[in-house]
Homo-oligomer: A and B are copies of this chain.
Amino acid sequence: MATKEKQEEMTRRQFLTTVGKVGGSAAVFSLMGTMGLLAPETLKAAEFVPPGQSDLKLSGRGGKKIIILGAGLAGMTAAYELGLAGYDCTILEAKSFAGGRCWTIRKGTSVSEIGSGRQTARFDSGMYFNVGPMRIPQFHVTMEYCRKFGIAVEPFNNVNESGFYYNENAGALSNRRVPKRAAKADVRGYTAEMLAKAVNQNLLDLPLTSEEKNKLVDYLRAEGDLSPDLFYKGSSRGGYKEEPGGALDGGVRRDPFDLKSIIDSGFGRYFSNEYSYDQQMMMFHPVGGMDKISEAFVKRVGNRIRYRAEVKAIRQSGEGVKVLYSSPDTGVQKEITGDYCICTIPLSVLKNIPADFSPEMSKAIASTNYASAGKIGLQFKRRFWEEDDHIYGGSSLTNMDITQIFYPPNDYFSKKGILLGYYAYGGNADKIANLSYIERERLALSQGGKIHPQYAKEFEASFSIDWKKTKYQEGGWASYSSDDRKSFYPALCKPDNRIYLAGEHLSYMTGWQSGAIESARIVVKDIHTRVMKA
């Protein structure tokens, strides 16, 4: 075992985590952590020591009242973890349901976007689509809560070689759907050929022995499926014109695209989407809808939630916190007081709520940008992507406004299905946001129909969301530049007297449920430490 190397890699946090643990499985963790054999994320999870019930009882510091603003995943995580220790938590939630962006659209879901009329989902019973987060990397803490709460998960097919690339204004391959496997085989083939020949002919100044160069060429031959003399002449990896089959049916391999066409197509730029750390396989989602997660939290902390409680002002003094809120239905104003406040309201909303924040905090809140993001679900009466194209989950990518289509990674073989007809962000999302619900539907159908002509015949119903136009959310997720992280972001992370901010926007995993959970756990630890010290 190269134990020495691994020990050198051990970080302060790993060390602290390791020595902070005692007994049982913790002792195993400790031993294994020392050996460097635990995943960093496991160590991260082990690092969170939730407040214990005995801490407060023994210390006589029980009964601390915590006001939590927002029943999204951050707010409910905080209520759950603090509640286990005996803190008295109350969650104020403006909507009539919990979960925040962890939201699954089903038959009858009804919502009015800011400045628009009402839209009601006419999907069939039992059908759903996740309009907020839809996938969970296997190493995110979200998976640990799924495990703990007994939420069944199934793979989210974030990679599928049978999906298509489709680009407009991209040379000879414009306006043509090309299977991902075909584009990958050709791009990898041609580039491997170029590099293998260059290495072989010693055109590059590489710090390698000739044996190492041979190994590199061997790798490139395998990587690009090159001929022995290092040419890319097409590959079965890219698929077939005629599939191989039984008896004498050897199949006919597709012809590769020529080098110019495949470079001009721009398809290669899509490959690395699948490489990024939080998009790599395997990914998961709860069986039956992402809202199984919020439901599981509600089962545990639902009795602490006051719904339809729109926060009007956040006040604090040396003694405590007072929050004024009112029902958007009755207008009746109420107030609640507590020892501390955990505010998970998105900063795009919070910046317009009067609050006793320091000027530094107020400025940081106002400075935070939110990403534009929008999705549409399209119900089809036949799963033609499975039946005709043999695409089971995964996506097709395009440079049209719709950006991407996702095929449902659930209920394979069933009769109907809801496709994610677009998932747009940035400029594309802004453009789509300005359309009416029906115009969005038309856009999704006309552009998506170029990739799947079956759209026209099989379409049944749509439901679209723009996150910036969604009340109490007003944005997809917090979006920081690296300058933002240095300038105003640290101010958001510091408690402002008795008020703590939490949420995906208080994390380096913005846009992920894990960001909300990790952020909440840090605030829980901070508050508990402060209470115990007091």
Binding site for B on A (CB under 8 A): 1-2, 5-6, 9, 11, 13-14, 28, 32, 35, 37-42, 44, 138-139, 143, 146-147, 150, 152-155, 157, 159-162, 173-176, 181, 184-185, 187-188, 191, 194-195, 197-199, 203-204, 206-208, 212, 215-216, 218-220, 222-223, 225, 236-237, 239-252, 254, 259-260, 263-264, 266, 268-269, 271-272, 275-277, 280-282, 284, 387-394, 409, 412-413, 450, 453-454, 457, 485, 490, 493, 502, 506-509, 515, 518-522
Contacts and interface: CB of A to CB of B under 8 A. Distances in A.
23 contacts: A2-B173, A2-B174, A2-B176, A32-B453, A37-B388, A143-B390, A152-B413, A157-B281, A159-B159, A161-B281, A187-B219, A194-B195, A195-B198, A212-B263, A236-B276, A236-B277, A237-B280, A239-B277, A244-B509, A249-B522, A281-B281, A281-B394, A284-B412
A237 B176 contact: no
Which of A154, A388, A518, A520 has the largest number of chain B CB atoms within 10 A?
Answer: A388
B225 A272 contact: yes
Contact of A251 (B157, B247, B508): B508
A390 B277 contact: no
Contacts of A208: 259-260, 263
A160 B282 contact: yes
Nearest to A248: B493
Given A41-B390, A264-B212, A281-B160, A250 B485 contact: yes
Contact of A277 (B38, B237, B275, B502): B237
B508 A413 contact: no
Nearest to A409: B155
Contacts of A264: 212, 215
Which of A222, A245, A275, A485 has the largest number of chain B CB atoms within 10 A?
Answer: A245
A42 B250 CA distance: 17
A219 B185 contact: no
Contact of A195 (B191, B246, B248, B250): B191
Contacts of A143: 390, 392
Contacts of A252: 11
A11 B246 contact: no
Contact of A244 (B38, B215, B392, B508): B508
A11 B241 contact: yes
Nearest to A526: B247
Contacts of A282: 157, 159-162, 392-394
Contacts of A37: 388, 453
A527 to B, nearest CB: 13
Contacts of A154: 154-155
A387 B198 CA distance: 45
B220 A191 contact: yes
Contacts of A147: 413
Given A157-B281, A188-B275, A249-B522, 18 more contacts: A1-B450, A37-B453, A39-B162, A39-B389, A42-B390, A139-B243, A139-B390, A157-B282, A159-B281, A181-B280, A185-B275, A191-B223, A194-B199, A198-B198, A198-B203, A215-B263, A245-B522, A248-B490
B216 A263 contact: yes
A456 to B, nearest CB: 12
A42 B388 contact: yes
Nearest to A237: B275
Given A138-B162, A393-B282, A521 B246 contact: yes
The 4 A-B residue pairs with the shortest CB-CB distance, nearest first, are: A246-B519, A246-B518, A244-B508, A219-B268
Given A176-B5, A204-B194, A276 B237 contact: yes
A180 B407 CA distance: 26
B198 A522 contact: no
A526 B477 CA distance: 61
